[in-house]
Amino acid sequence: MSYKARVVAAMSLAFLFVGVITGVAVWAAGSRTIASGKALERVTVVRSSQILNTSSTSYTTIPGATARVTVPSGERALLIARFTTQEDCSVGDGSPSGHCMGRIMSNAKEMAPASGGSFIDSVQSGKPAGVRSAALDRSLGPVGPGTYMIKVQVRVTNPNMIVEATDWHLTVERIRV
């Protein structure tokens, strides 16, 4: 076995050993990570049929699509947030093209995978508008003790577009690690 292969094998075993000792499995290869926990400790659900319409090119928090999660002193947790909505990504004036974007934040940090937001729909000239389902599934951690404000945000990439979100559902889970 080559020296490089022995080093890679030793590092892999070290990560596995640390994961077994701490109860957290974290493995990185490129941009892929894995995190796991021991027990689901708390679930918060927030839901609404309120409609948000925005043509903002800056992220806008969906009113009410927030949840507060507290990790008690002395504990660590994996936070998982899931958001589903009925959305309509459509044109305002003219026939613009662009995307409707969404992201889930924890305090001022985008939850993983943090890519600056995800496409929830797109508009192309001549494409018929229509209501669709959209979903985001994000995680953060393991994190230490503290209070985490989870919020869902949307925006458009072209100010002549409109994103509408309604009949949404936000689920946040705190999992002990």
Same domain, 30 and 43: no
pLDDT of residue 36: 78
Backbone φ and ψ for 107, nearest 5 degrees, come out as: 55, -120
CATH for 42 = 2.60.120.760
Per-residue b or e along 43-57, where b marks 16 or more CB atoms closer than 10 Å to that residue's CB: eeebebeeebebeee
Q: Are residues 64 and 115 in the same domain?
A: yes
Could you say which DSSP state residue 14 is in?
Answer: H
Are 107 and 137 found together in one domain? Answer: yes
User: What average pLDDT score do residues 15-42 get?
Assistant: 59
Answer yes or no: are the C-beta atoms of 106 and 140 closer than 8 Å. Answer: yes
139-160 residue pLDDT tens:
999 999 999 999 999 999 988 8
pLDDT value at residue 115: 78
> Among residues 107, 114, 168, 169, which one has the least CA distance to residue 139?
114
Q: Checking DSSP bridges between strand 161-176 and strand 39-48, what pairing results, if any?
A: antiparallel
Q: Which domain holds residue 110?
A: 38-176
* Same structural domain, 114 and 86: yes
Per-residue pLDDT band at 161 (split at 50, 70, 90)? confident
Q: Give the containing element (helix H, strand E) for 63.
A: strand 60-71
**Whether residues 5 and 72 fall in one domain:** no
- For the stretch 83-138, pLDDT in tens is 999 888 877 666 677 888 899 999 999 999 887 776 666 666 555 556 677 889 99
- Range scoring the smallest mean pLDDT among 12-26, 51-65, 131-145: 12-26
In terms of Cα–Cα distance, which of 112, 94, 92, 96 is closest to 104?
Answer: 112
Q: Are residues 111 and 28 in the same domain?
A: no
Tokens of 67: 């949840």
Residues 117 and 140 grouped into a single domain:
yes
Task: Please tell me the least confidently modeled range out of 14-18, 91-95, 143-147, 173-177.
Answer: 14-18
Q: What's the mean pLDDT in 60-83?
A: 96
User: Do 134 and 87 meet the contact criterion of CB atoms below 8 Å apart?
Assistant: yes
Q: Give the total number of structural domains in the chain.
A: 2
The whole-number pLDDT of residue 135 equals 86
Record the tokens describing residue 142, joined without a space: 């393991």
Report the pLDDT value the prediction gives residue 121, as an integer from 0 to 100. 65
Nearest to 143 by CA among 176, 104, 114, 105: 176
Can you give the pTM of this predicted structure? Answer: 0.76
Same domain, 86 and 151: yes
50 & 112 share domain: yes
Question: How are the residues of the chain apportioned to helix, strand and coil, as percentages rounded to the nearest 5?
Answer: 10, 55, 30
d(CA 26, CA 35): 5
